[in-house]
Structure 1
Amino acid sequence: MTNHKTVLLMGGDGIGPEVTEQGARVLSWFADRRGLPLHFEEDLYGGACFDRHGVFVRDATVIHAGEVDAVLCGASGGPKWDDLPQARPKAGMDGLTRMRRELDLFANIRPSRCLPALENASTLKAEVIRGVDLIVLRELTSGIYYGEPRGIEELPDGRRRGVDTQIYSSDEIERVVRQAFELARDRRGIVHSVEKSNVMETGILWREVASQVHADEFPDLTLHHMLTDNCAMQ
């Protein structure tokens, strides 16, 4: 097969394999009609990988994921593995988190759109969900997930204290903000930048960088700033 695209299927756990199998069917349907040959490969990650290999994702799998054209992952994890030391974020070995970081998958793009035919199937009233068409873009490889120091320590008086650190550098903010504007350019041209600049230093930096990227590179588009709790409420 020449000029084909390789898709690595990683079913994961629980309903994951079932979902990725159907996702592959949909991809194949479009590929057949667009003349784009697809080649599917499969590998393990998550609990299924741990049960067989003792790790949540193998080194060879991470390397191969960086070589193929696309990776389709199903849900991973579950009660059976949640309390294992290797599954803790600090260990950086929980499969999905490791692949995100090592493959530098910094932009998590989550579209939310309700088709008219599905309005009455939504848990929200049809008049509320009608016409919804938005994209939530989340930074995925920095921030509190990966910041150091972190951990749980015992104090001299016997109390225990948990510590997490939120860290962002300007370049990490720039690239995800830039991605948001690129997406917005093909839509309504509006970006809402969401942070906690009222109480967090990282939020202040985020707002400053977002404003600068907007002014320097996308002055023809619209930027609104929102606080996280206000955004969640709306």
Structure 2
Amino acid sequence: MPANKSLLVLPGDGIGPEVMREAKRVIDWMGKKRAVRFELEEDLCGGCAIDAHGMPITDDTVKKAQQVDAVLLGAVGGPKWDNLPFDQKPERGLLRLRKEMDLFANLRPAVCFPALADASSLKRELVEGLDIMIVRELTGGVYFGTPRGIETLPDGQRRGINTQVYTTNEIRRVASVAFELARKRRNKVTSCEKANVMESGVLWREEVQKLHDEQYKDVELQHMYADNAAMQLVRNPKQFDVIVTDNLFGDILSDEAAMLTGSLGMLPSASLGAPDATGKRKALYEPVHGSAPDIAGQNAANPIATILSFAMALRYTFDMPDEADLVEKAAKEVLDKGLRTGDIMQKGAAKVSTTVMGDSLLMALSKLAG
């Protein structure tokens, strides 16, 4: 069977290698049971790359990432590297990948599995059935704007500077991703900014509205200030379908939405670039959770978010929605049976290891596939 789909696997640090091990078993299952084989290449990113090469990612690894169909990443960082200069920390490897691959659209689904509804900090009736997609602009805004830095003023005070900046094209391309996703979901987009106090927010609102009026009149569009959106996510989260917002507000709102589901460790994400002439997009998939160094090496981590990140790759890069659905259904079945890793443990459930969670998910896949 020819290997016609390529993945660069970057396990990273902490629990990254452990959760990636289970994701690779699912990838292998696809090759054996679904007549599709993935060509995998593994490399280093994050603290492990610093230890091996003196930098958080090498030029060669970035080159490989540009050439494959998609990148699957585990997690980066840990206290071992906390004292390094800011521009040499493990996270800079991931930021470099996002920037050089021009992965401008970050997709973070916030889906509450029924079996975990009681694990949310909100009442079950507010979160049961929750299914939100947050589209965060990832390569612009205050995280990348210039001027930036810390300077000393003539009177001896210090001043920190960061610049929030967006252009028409940056706004329109991420809004287009949100509108296209909404057409395949419940056909509603909520665009969030602070147009009441920020000129960049005014531009954001105007350009999203223009794009809607020109190309997406069939999609319901709502504008909402980002602080109100934060409140509404806690008050009535199921009012949202697709939320599109800038880099800073997207960082905050997506973390808030993630916790509504009961566990940050359950959620996947995708970072997508612009389509080329053939329609192909560069893409990076990763779990939302961090490297959790406190449980690294204990076979205790939850692999589901990494496995669901692969499911997102099946859906958005490889155009295999049936296989993506299969993986997502298998995760639901395992949770419905009461199997839990420590991060999602509930009274009356069975606590299992990383490996046993992977075993159980593979068995559920085989059962669902017939």
Q: TM-score range by the shorter chain?
A: over 0.9
Matching of residues 74-223 of structure 1 within 5 Å: 74-87=74-87, 94-223=92-221
Alignment RMSD (CA, Å): 1.8
Contact kept? 1:153, 1:160, Cα under 8 Å: yes
Quick one: structure 1 residues 174 and 204, their matched pair in 2 at CA, closer, same or farther if it must change by over 3 Å?
same
Taking the aligned partners of 1:97 and 1:6, their CA distance within structure 2 comes to 22
The 8 Å contact of residues 86 and 93 in structure 1, kept in 2 or not, is answered as no
Which deviations, in whole Å up to 9, do the C-alpha atoms of 1:13-62 show, x marking residues without a partner?
11122222222223333443331111221111111101111111001100
Write out aligned runs for 1:60-75 (5 A): 60-75=60-75
Is residue 10–residue 74 contact of structure 1 (8 Å, CA) maintained in 2? yes
Q: Which residue of 2 aligns with 1:57?
A: 57
Compute the displacement of 1:93 (Å): 7.9
Distance 1:31 1:152 in 2: 51
- Secondary structure in structure 1 of the residue aligned to 2:110: strand
Distance 1:26 1:127 in 2: 33
2:47, 2:56 within 8 Å by CA — same for their partners in 1?
Answer: yes
% identity of equivalent residues = 53
Bigger share in helix: 2
Q: 1:30 to 1:113 in 2, by over 3 A?
A: farther
Higher mean alpha-carbon deviation, 197-206 vs 22-31, is at 22-31
Q: What is the one-letter code of the residue matched to 2:187?
A: G
Relative contact order higher in (CA < 8 Å, ≥ 6 apart): 2
Alpha-carbon shift at residue 123 of structure 1 (Å) = 4.2
Structure 2 counterpart of 1:26: 26
TM-score (norm 2): 0.60
- Tell me the equivalent position of 1:232: 230
Aligned mates of 2:113, 2:51 — CA distance in 1: 40
Q: How many residues align?
A: 232
* Alignment gaps of 5+ in structure 2: 233-370
Q: Which residue of 2 aligns with 1:17?
A: 17
Distance 1:80 1:87, change over 3 A: farther
Shift of 1:126: 2.0
Contact kept, 8 Å, 1:137 with 1:180, in 2: the verdict is yes
